[in-house]
Copies of this chain bind each other. A is one copy, B any other.
Amino acid sequence: MSDDWIESVAWNADGLVPAVAQDAASGEVLMLAWMNRESLARTVETGEAVYWSRSRKSLWKKGETSGHLQRVLEVRLDCDADAVLLRVESVKGIACHTGRRRCFFNRLEGAGGGRRWVATEPVIASADASDA
């Protein structure tokens, strides 16, 4: 397989690119994670999202233990090739390791000095920090 399409990505100094996962059905932005060359290649080959865990410094197959896989329907690259967008089917409807539907559950509310982040999404599955 030619890897030219992989080398077209503007990998950062650490060899990573941010990847945004969007639910193909609802349009919700589920999460932002990071990929290296191998995780992007495996994602495309297998059709299931594989990220790079910066904290564990290892490949991280989404939902490997929890079953909260992401089936990848489409892969997109932005204008300057330094961000990836995945349209996914979020298996079991959970993208977040906290057991929420999506990771972007904190909404900025209030005004002036009263501004604060408020969790707006319910926890609908048991949390599994090992399998974010």
Q: Which residues of A contact B (CB under 8 A)?
A: 1-2, 4-5, 8, 18, 20, 22, 27-29, 31-32, 44, 74-81, 83, 85, 96-98, 100, 103-108, 112-117, 132
Q: List 15 A-B contacts (CB under 8 A).
A: A1-B113, A2-B115, A8-B117, A18-B18, A20-B20, A29-B29, A32-B83, A74-B107, A74-B108, A77-B106, A77-B117, A79-B98, A80-B103, A83-B103, A85-B104
Query: Looking at A32, A83, A112, which has the most chain B CB atoms within 10 Å of its CB?
Result: A32
**Copies of this chain, count:** 2
Question: What separation, in Å, do the CA atoms of A76 and B103 have in the docked complex?
Answer: 10
**What residue in chain B is nearest A20 (Cβ atoms)?**
B20
Q: Which residues of B contact A103 (CB under 8 A)?
A: 78-80, 83
Contact A96 B75 (CB under 8 A): no
